Structure 1
Amino acid sequence: MGCVPITLRLLEGEVLLYRGLGWVVKGYQHPGDAVVAYPRYDLINGGKLYHHEIKWLAESMRFWDCIKRTAPLIPLAEVSKPVVRMNQQVTYLLSTLSELIRNKGEEVEVSGSSILGLRNPRDVDVIVYNSTVETASVLRELLNKGVLRKAGEYVIVNEYLEKHSSRMPLENYLKLKRNTFLHFILGGVHVNVKLVSLSTGYNYCVDKVEEYASYNGFFKVLERITAPLIPARYLARVGNEIMELESLREVYSELEPGEYYVAGGVIEERRRGRVLVPDHGVVIPQ
């Protein structure tokens, strides 16, 4: 690992404070002096960013050779962990979830708008860092035993309306999440969990992209490699070629083996081979 301040994870979903705003970290690799992150929250006034987000994004966009594209980069020396204003209910949820998953090294952290300390939240975004295959198995077991209650379709629809309605049709989202175990009810609150396999990220290039090309077309998921852990990796067939598929998005972390179509995806040439990345596009189950 690089010389990263112990208080920072530099990992997918982590919220960092920079210029009074909450920036959500993307991915697990970053330039030595910066962090790839997107502006999402006004931490001073306790609200979400909307039209101001475009301004902050435009000012932070820089080209990074590691991924061969521009990304929002904020200076590592000027970021810190914000003081999370969790209410008692969210604190209880995090504590209970940690106990339920037996906490064998996993690190549970709140993310999303839950950091704003809103009263009576309808849903809570949680990231379980340092997750393992066993972490996923324990969650499934808790759902099967009824300790956790499976999220009803209305909850999944609300999640769609809140986060995904601008990207894909509802029917598509429901197909992707029909067998989800990452959405459940705990203490009367909808909990959306993202399982991240790393505990800390890297402040240097780990998986360099040599070049990339847009890809719109069919692919077949053959088997899961690391999914549903993020980075979610699969073995996939694209045309006559077998390659890896990788996603950092929770919505694409539970793909079942089968046929799909991606609109707006890319195929990256990396040092370890060709990789299909659907994250900026839409995956449509066939």
Structure 2
Amino acid sequence: MLDQVIEGYVLLHRDTLWMVKGCEHPINGFIAYPRYFKDGSKVKDPIHGLDIARRLGLVKYIDGLKMEVPVIPRYAIDSILDPFNRSLWPSLPNIINEFLNEIGALNSEDVGLTGSYLVSSLVSIKPRDLDLIIRDVREGLRIYDVLKDLREDGITEHHIESKDFSGTDPITRNELLRRRVLEGVYRDKLVYSIRVVSCKQNTEIRPISYISYYTGKVRITQALSPIIMPYIYEALGSGGAVLIKSQRMRFSEIPVNTELFLSSCRVERYVSGETYLSLDNPECKVSIVDINY
């Protein structure tokens, strides 16, 4: 069971529910951020979540990542909410079942329910948005094509974010949302977000050997993996061609020829030889200079 814990799983540790992040994890634990307390209150943002983890002694420096992250040890997990175990799903509103049917996911074993709806099966909260996780690339690409058709037909529309601008600014956040079908609003009623991951089991962390920081403009020249997390793009920066990578959904589906200004973003050189410009470190800020679509 623990080998299957990936992005979207929810871990209960004492009185706090933690959202697992990504596919790569330390051998003895899982990188996860606190999102809800068992009394139903919500952690405001990742920075607050990191403070909570630090107070609990759960922040660990991972040499392979060259940074501190919150880690729940395997032995400290009290229970696990599996997004793909439909017996754990709460009773869902008709609009969600309609949406799942529309995208052909009503009975798909590789489409999981996460976020506030999954948490509501354990904690007394009122879910707001629909969060889905897809662990099969082929299924994810099929659903993505359906989402494009739904947007073209006007059945979904883009979502406007009014408060969550972490790592960006309001203009950048909403300009990218306007061009994204993995997030949107279904029939003017349901706000949805769908992540497609490239793993069905967790793996060991790919070690980074060296980091530096980049500030300057980049222009997206090729979308290598704009739909499947991690999102990867080829770009031109001040030093030439560079690969950009992010685990954050706000940086999915960036159109080719988009010009961005990056501030204090990490350049990560891996032991295996690859180098990526990451958009995920807390200091990194991303803003749009020009977008073409």
Q: Aligning the two structures, in what range does the TM-score lie when normalised by the shorter sequence? A: 0.7 to 0.9
Letter in 2 for 1:141: D
Map 1:39-188 → 2, pairs under 5 A:
39-42=34-37, 44-50=38-44, 54-58=51-55, 59-79=57-77, 80-82=79-81, 86-89=90-93, 93=96, 95-103=97-105, 107-117=110-120, 121-132=127-138, 133-146=141-154, 148-151=155-158, 155-158=159-162, 161=163, 163-164=164-165, 167-186=167-186, 188=189
1:9 alignment partner, one of 4, 8, 16: 4
- The answer (yes or no) to whether the contact 1:86–1:116 under 8 Å persists in 2 is no
- The answer (yes or no) to whether the contact 1:216–1:264 under 8 Å persists in 2 is yes
Cα pair distance change 1:115/1:265, threshold 3 Å: same
Letter in 2 for 1:262: L
- Where 1:45 maps in the other structure, the secondary structure is coil
Q: How many Å separate the matches in 2 of 1:121 and 1:71?
A: 27
The TM-score, its normalising length taken from structure 2, stands at 0.80
- Where 2:24 maps in the other structure, the secondary structure is coil
- Where 1:139 maps in the other structure, the secondary structure is helix
Cα pair distance change 1:245/1:181, threshold 3 Å: same
- The answer (yes or no) to whether the contact 2:35–2:49 under 8 Å persists in 1 is no
Deviation at 1:87, TM superposition (A): 4.1
Deviation at 1:174, TM superposition (A): 1.7
Deviation at 1:27, TM superposition (A): 1.9
Deviation at 1:46, TM superposition (A): 2.1
- Where 2:179 maps in the other structure, the secondary structure is coil
Deviation at 1:101, TM superposition (A): 3.2
Q: How many Å separate the matches in 2 of 1:14 and 1:218?
A: 35
Q: Deviations over 1:67-125 (max 9, x none)?
A: 122211111233231385734318x62x4444433349662222223334377644222
Percent of aligned positions that are identical: 23
Q: How many Å separate the matches in 2 of 1:185 and 1:145?
A: 13
Letter in 2 for 1:114: Y
Cα pair distance change 1:272/1:136, threshold 3 Å: farther
- Where 1:47 maps in the other structure, the secondary structure is coil
- The answer (yes or no) to whether the contact 1:106–1:129 under 8 Å persists in 2 is no
- The answer (yes or no) to whether the contact 1:244–1:274 under 8 Å persists in 2 is yes
- Where 1:115 maps in the other structure, the secondary structure is helix
Counterpart of 1:279 in structure 2 is 280
Q: How many Å separate the matches in 2 of 1:130 and 1:23?
A: 23
Q: How many Å separate the matches in 2 of 1:122 and 1:237?
A: 39
Gaps of 5+ in 1: none
Counterpart of 2:85 in structure 1 is none
Deviates more, 1:133-142 or 1:61-70: 133-142
Gaps of 5+ in 2: 83-87
- The answer (yes or no) to whether the contact 1:40–1:53 under 8 Å persists in 2 is no
- Where 1:251 maps in the other structure, the secondary structure is helix
Letter in 1 for 2:261: Y
- The answer (yes or no) to whether the contact 2:157–2:186 under 8 Å persists in 1 is no
- The answer (yes or no) to whether the contact 1:226–1:233 under 8 Å persists in 2 is yes
The TM-score, its normalising length taken from structure 1, stands at 0.82
Counterpart of 1:29 in structure 2 is 24
